[in-house]
Amino acid sequence: MHKYVSGAALSVALSLGLGTSGFAQETIKVGVLHSLSGTMAISETTLKDTMLMLIDEQNKKGGVLGKQLEAVVVDPASDWPLFAEKARELIEIEGVAATFGAWTSVSRKSVLPVIEELNSLLFYPVQYEGEESSKNVFYTGAAPNQQAIPAVDYLMDEIGAERWVLAGTDYVYPRTTNKILESYLKDKGVAEEDIMINYTPFGHSDWQSIVSDIKKFGSAGRKTAVVSTVNGDANVPFYKELANQGVSAEDIPVIAFSVGEEELSGFDTEPLVGHLAAWNYFMSVEDETNDEFIDAWQSFIGSDERVTNDPMEAHYIGFNMWVKAVEKAGTTDADAVEQAIIGVSVPNLSGGYSTMMPNHHITKPVLIGEIQDDGQFDIVWETSGLVAGDAWSDFLPDSKSLISDWRAPLACGNYDVSKGTCSGQNL
């Protein structure tokens, strides 16, 4: 008899035990969609590691809604159509609650229809050209008015620049940004002949003629500045050529939107000292949250040589916003989280709070840093308050009258104020 009882008790206990452990294993899956091979691996691998660290830390704090988070990492291999396929895999097969990923605009555009069709959520951490607002995407990087416009203001007011070189890599982000900047400069009274626009292919390595042109353009006796949307690798030979041809930051300062700490770690920074970059975060920000983040990152990655950068901060903000919104909504359901996240504020790494706006962009400070010989930035200027990201630029004729507000009753990403209509998803 006793035998049976204990046997029954054992089986009950066993099944209970299995039950609870089975229950504990139920996790919330989070997709990480960053290239780990190919051209973009240089920038995106770090963001994958950042997400793993953030998820790991959240799990140590007890996860979300009492469940542990589980990162699902896929490798879209810098291949734009593959981004769409991998996103579909993450949502349909893995059933992730939200995806953090993409770097280039073209990869985001590739993922966009999939995310919208399957009604999931994407957090996009990189500065971009704006002119987009999707119900399913949260833009935690800078819009042009959070990076490019303040940078030009700084050069104009503080440095006294009168002639402008807009140099960029030939793709959608630099082209749109330069269009916005050109129209902004003309509004400010800069003459057509004082603006020089130049595009180069991806990975351009022979900058001799362009630097020589910039030098000639800048030798007219008026202060000249270069606004650079040159992307990735092409920056190294660009700055080397500037230095070799004797163009110093005091003569012609270059302000870059795509050069951060991570990129500088692969440079010999000597020729770059004094040139500028505009971001919403620098590793050199003096703040306790930032110190903690840097310590956590360096111990997670196991090297105190590794740096932090702006897109990492964007993931930090985006991830914490998502966690907060899920807890607020009490579910990971995309629609509920989408509504809950608007208005959510979380600390950013520069000593303030960032808030998710109704247009799915966030508020951030804008910082201008000068490159130092140790590959860090010395912050020389910052906006007095936070700047809210503007999805549709006020300086382009097509988007002037558009606004985005995803709250009910408007719930529209591109509402035309002049016509009073919502023109549907993404023009």
Partner 1 sequence: MFTSGLTPKIWQFAVSTRALPAVFFLCFCATVSAQDGQEASQLQALSEELSSKKKAIQIQAIDQLAASGDERVERWLTALLEGELYRRKGDNRIVYATKSGKLLALKDADTGEPLEEVKKRSVSKLRINNAIRTQLKGLLGTLKLKHPDANIREQAVADLVGKVESAAMPEIRSIYQSETNADVKEQLRLLISVHDLENGSDEQRSEALSYVDGNLHNPVINALRNMSLNAEDDTVRLQATQLLSQAEKKLVWYSRLETLFFGISLGSVLVVAAIGLAITFGVMGVINMAHGELIMLGAYTTYFIQQLLPDFMEISLLLAIPAAFCVSGVVGILIERGVIRHLYGRPLETLLATFGISLMLQQAVRTFVSSQNVAVINPSWMSGSWAVNPALSFTLNRLVIIGFCLLVFALLLLLFSRSGFGLQMRAVAQNRQMARAMGIRSDRIDALTFGLGSGIAGIAGVALSQLGNVGPNLGQSYIIDSFMVVVFGGVGNLWGTLVAGMSLGIANKIIEPWVGAVVAKVMILVFIIIFIQRKPRGLFPQRGRAAEA
Spatial distance between the Cα atoms of 149 and 185, rounded to a whole number of angstroms: 9
Give me the least distance between CB of 151 and partner 1, in Å please.
14
Give me the least distance between CB of 167 and partner 1, in Å please.
10
Closer to partner 1 by CB, 132 or 262: give it.
262
CA separation (Å) from 259 to 43, 92, 149, 215, 393? 11, 36, 17, 21, 23
Closer to partner 1 by CB, 132 or 261: give it.
261
Give me the least distance between CB of 161 and partner 1, in Å please.
9
The pair of structure tokens assigned to 12 is 């009950």
Closer to partner 1 by CB, 93 or 206: give it.
206
Closer to partner 1 by CB, 188 or 216: give it.
216
Q: Is the peptide bond before 409 cis (omega within 30 degrees of 0)?
A: yes
Give me the least distance between CB of 381 and partner 1, in Å please.
9
Q: 153, exposed or middle or buried, with CB in 10 Å at 0-12, 13-18, 19+?
A: middle
Closer to partner 1 by CB, 264 or 340: give it.
264
Closer to partner 1 by CB, 338 or 370: give it.
370
Spatial distance between the Cα atoms of 250 and 394, rounded to a whole number of angstroms: 32
CA–centroid distance for 319 within its chain: 12
Give me the least distance between CB of 266 and partner 1, in Å please.
3
Amino acid at 363: T
Give me the least distance between CB of 405 and partner 1, in Å please.
38
Q: 66, exposed or middle or buried, with CB in 10 Å at 0-12, 13-18, 19+?
A: exposed
Residues contributing to the site for partner 1 (CB under 8 A): 36-37, 39, 41-42, 45, 159-160, 170, 198-201, 203-206, 208-210, 212-213, 216, 219-223, 233, 236-237, 240-241, 243-246, 249-250, 253, 262, 265-268, 271, 274, 370, 372-373, 378, 380
Closer to partner 1 by CB, 202 or 353: give it.
202
Closer to partner 1 by CB, 21 or 209: give it.
209
Give me the least distance between CB of 170 and partner 1, in Å please.
5
Closer to partner 1 by CB, 29 or 223: give it.
223
The pair of structure tokens assigned to 8 is 């029954």
Q: 159, exposed or middle or buried, with CB in 10 Å at 0-12, 13-18, 19+?
A: middle
Closer to partner 1 by CB, 235 or 363: give it.
235
The pair of structure tokens assigned to 274 is 């004094």
Closer to partner 1 by CB, 225 or 346: give it.
225
| Residue 154 φ then ψ, to 5° | -60, -50
Give me the least distance between CB of 370 and partner 1, in Å please.
5
Give me the least distance between CB of 333 and partner 1, in Å please.
36
Give me the least distance between CB of 204 and partner 1, in Å please.
6
Give me the least distance between CB of 199 and partner 1, in Å please.
6
